[in-house]
Amino acid sequence: MKIFVINGPNLNMLGIREPDIYGSGTYGDLVGMVKSFCWEHGVGVEFFQSNHEGDLVDFIQKAYKNADGIVINPAAYTHTSIAIADALKAVAVPYVEVHISDVSGRESYRQVSYIAENAVKTIAGKGLEGYIEAVKTLIGTEGKLC
């Protein structure tokens, strides 16, 4: 099994950016923990982070015939990008939407997600652990591990 872990704008600033909301873990920490989990469970994984909407669309398109699942945190593009939602629909690869913060308790403009409708699941407010839960969901072992 191969999964893509895709992160949108400003998530390269994790650890520096609003640590009261997003925590002190860095993007490198996130990659390290997801990589270890995937390695332990025999799952192939590829990471991508970009601050540019079109680059995120290009990488989502790469998932067609190349990935069995996608973990995606489109960050601010969650609330604005029909292009990202369309790309996810186009490739038709199962995906889990992740948000580090609990978007449901934040500003009203964060309550909108263009990608939630077709997601296998949306995980929010669980910090970096949410990415591990997303991988577990995709490998169909949620609740049976750890």
Q: Does 101 bind ligand DQA (CB under 6 A)?
A: yes
Q: Which is nearer to ligand DQA, 16 or 145 (CB)?
A: 16
3-state secondary structure (DSSP) of residue 112: coil
- Pairing mode of beta strands 44-49, 2-7: parallel
- Name the minimum Å distance from CB 107 to ligand DQA: 8
3-state secondary structure (DSSP) of residue 71: strand
**Interaction residues for ligand DQA, span 45-74 (CB under 6 A):** 73
Residue closest to 75 by CA, chosen among 84, 88, 62: 84
Within its chain, how far is the Cα of 77 from the centroid? 12
Cα gap 114→58, rounded to integer Å: 18
Is 22 one of the annotated active-site residues of the chain?
Answer: yes
Q: Does 100 bind ligand DQA (CB under 6 A)?
A: yes
Query: What is the phi/psi pair of residue 16, to 5°?
Result: -105, -40
Q: Does 121 bind ligand DQA (CB under 6 A)?
A: no
3-state secondary structure (DSSP) of residue 83: helix
- Name the minimum Å distance from CB 47 to ligand DQA: 15
In the list 27, 59, 91, 99, the residue contacting ligand DQA (rule: CB under 6 A) is 99
Of 77, 99, 114, 131, the active-site residue reads 99
Is 99 one of the annotated active-site residues of the chain?
Answer: yes
Q: Does 126 bind ligand DQA (CB under 6 A)?
A: no
Q: Does 103 bind ligand DQA (CB under 6 A)?
A: yes
CB atoms within 10 A of CB 145: 12
Residues contributing to the site for ligand DQA (CB under 6 A):
10, 73, 75-76, 78, 99-101, 103, 110
Residues labelled catalytic? 22, 99
